Amino acid sequence: MTALAQSILDLFAARGAQAIDVPMLQPADPFLDIAGEDLRRRIFLTESETGETLCLRPEFTIPVCLDHIANRAATPRRYSYLGEVFRQRRDGESEFAQAGIEDLGDPDTARADARSLADAHALLAMALPGLPLAVTLGDQTVFEAVLAALGLPRGWQKRLARAFGSPEMVEAALADLADPPAGRGLAGDANLFAASGDRAALAAFIEGEMREAGISPSAGRTPDEIARRLIEKAELSRLRLTPAQLDALKTFLAIHVPLAEAPAALAGFAASSGIVLGEALDLFSARADAILSNGVKAKDIAYDAAFGRPLDYYTGVVFEIATPGGPRPLVGGGRYDRLLTLLGAERPIPGVGFSVWLDRIEKAREGRG
């Protein structure tokens, strides 16, 4: 074990996180169903002797949560980990080490979020002493509250929520909302089923087409899932935003301010747009206060209303920490309150966590000479 790894484990123990070791081979379905397309495209699949689809663990959050559920562990509980993960990265690497903490079951959301960010920041400050750090923070809850307050139809709220954190997807969605595309509908019977909202008929039609093409209906998304998405798209194509709604959304997404100024900026946006953000703004303000009183310098943290992270299970705050001007983040994390229920927990268990890329930290240390 390297000196850096041991120092990280010592820090985790000092912060009350229980070390956990999860198997390298994991069931693939939770990642394929929950983590999102960005991860789905980059994992390494294999099969067990019984034909079960497995994968090399591409991240730690889902395996740690599955282990917590399987052991019926009490909460609140904090888990720490350090080990290899396997997924195809954009820089060409496919095997690298991550460390992090998953904080499960704390009912005080603001406190747990602030603690998670503070733990991640403390790790980097220990590993890279004296190096400036920049925290970027976003909030899925606030974004979804804005969509609801603006009166967007539920289907468009869901599409934009899925796009959160991807500037390209959000831009495409806003363009479609301003001017719904023509001529991109389905042909023949599929178009009729989608336009009428007949999900069962459309799913049966899709399954027949897949079988005729030699594609197993159980490969990838099911015919029913495809039908649901196509009907949703057909409904969305008939809707458009008013100029006032579109302007308000663009104004919101352009908010980028120091965290200390963010509650006032959001309150000012809400007032000028004639909307009420209610509990979402209250929680945001409480979290900002908790973060700023947790030892992280206020000048190091920026709130970016358009910032998100490319995993579908995030539900609230998301954050990354990098060196100013650095090409890639050193830490990424966020809140995932629905994840454990989706993985089979008998009751809702709130969660928040972060992961740090150890290879990037090592390179930053080498770069300092």
Same fold, 1-132+329-369 and 134-180+240-322: yes
Domain boundaries, the chain: 1-132+329-369, 134-180+240-322, 188-236
| Distance, CA of 53 to CA of 30 (rounded, Å) | 11
Report the range of poorest mean pLDDT among 118-132, 165-179, 193-207: 193-207
For the stretch 43-96, pLDDT in tens is 898 888 888 999 999 999 999 999 999 999 999 999 999 999 999 877 677 899
Q: 134-180+240-322 sits in which CATH class?
A: alpha beta
How confident is residue 183, by pLDDT bands cut at 50, 70 and 90? very low
Is residue 35 within 8 A of residue 62, CB to CB? The reply is yes
Smallest CA-to-CA distance from 86 within 94, 98, 78, 97 is with 94
User: What is the pLDDT, as a whole number, of residue 351?
Assistant: 98
User: What is the model's pLDDT at position 219?
Assistant: 59
Task: Note the pLDDT of residue 188.
Answer: 66
Lowest mean pLDDT among 19-23, 141-145, 200-204: 200-204
- pLDDT value, residue 258: 97
Q: Which of 20, 32, 91 is nearest to 58 (CA)?
A: 32
Burial class, 275, CB count within 10 angstroms (exposed 0-12 / middle 13-18 / buried 19+): middle
Q: Name the percent of the chain lying above pLDDT 90.
A: 59
Nearest C-alpha neighbor of 21 from the set 94, 103, 84: 84
Count of C-beta atoms within a 10 Å radius of residue 147: 22
Residue 289 has pLDDT above 90, yes or no: yes
Which CATH number is correct for 1-132+329-369, 3.40.50.2300, 3.40.50.720, 3.40.50.1010, 3.30.930.10? 3.30.930.10
Long-range Cβ contact pairs of 40-47 (< 8 A, separation 24 or more): 41/88, 42/87, 42/88, 42/89, 43/86, 43/87, 44/86, 44/87, 44/88, 44/94
**Residue 85 — φ and ψ, nearest 5°?**
-125, 160
**Is 276 or 214 the better-scoring residue by pLDDT?**
276
C-alpha distances in Å from residue 366, one per residue of 127, 361, 362: 12, 9, 6
